[in-house]
A = this chain, B = another copy of it.
Amino acid sequence: MDETRQRDREGTRRRILDAARRLFADLGYDQVTMRLIAAEADANIALINRYFGSKRELFAEVLAMQGRFPGVLDCPEEELPRRLAEYIAERLRSDQASPVMAALIRSSNCPEIHDLIRDRVSSAILEPLSARLSGPDAAFRARIATALITGNGTMRQLYGPESSDVPDREAVIARLTAIFEACLSR
């Protein structure tokens, strides 16, 4: 309480940003309070707005911090279904979901950041995926595939990883590949 603390602007800023990233991913935007972030970062609550302006701007910076949808989309069109299937299969089993994705899904109903979420989904998944698709109705096909990805996140949020007894990894990937092919094929 009455301990003195090292003065470390950059360090404190980074601790806050890290804590926010973790908490937003775990709990979603509106379940995370400024006081919770401050406690997790072991920093004073007033410093959050001093360094980031507001909770909303902090969330925006957390989103900006992350790269785009993990390299998954960087491949020729014909490999997309398999790559997406492997990604989902990983997320099905793994203990932690993708931090950005989790933050997006858990926060998608908060009107204050609705535009941030939408823009992020667009720029990180929807648009790059759509741009990689040849043939007609690329936007629509990309939207369905994206729905599958976000829906998987929602189910994971509801039931946790691997709620039902999941078949072996190869079978999962094979099925998911077939599904994404049905989504994305021209």
Contact surface of A with B, Cβ cutoff 8 Å: 28, 30-31, 105-109, 111, 114, 117-118, 121, 136-137, 139-144, 146-152, 154-155, 157-159, 163-167, 171-172, 175-176, 178-179, 181-183
Contacts and interface: CB of A to CB of B under 8 A. Distances in A.
Number of copies: 2
Contacts of A158: 108, 114, 117-118, 121
Nearest to A149: B151
Contact of A164 (B114, B118, B143, B166): B143
B154 A118 contact: no
A118 B156 CA distance: 11
Main secondary structure of the interface of A (DSSP, over half): helix
Contacts of A167: 136-137, 140
A98 to B, nearest CB: 15
Contacts of A106: 109
A155 B147 CA distance: 6
8 contacts: A107-B109, A108-B157, A109-B157, A136-B167, A137-B171, A144-B179, A175-B183, A179-B179
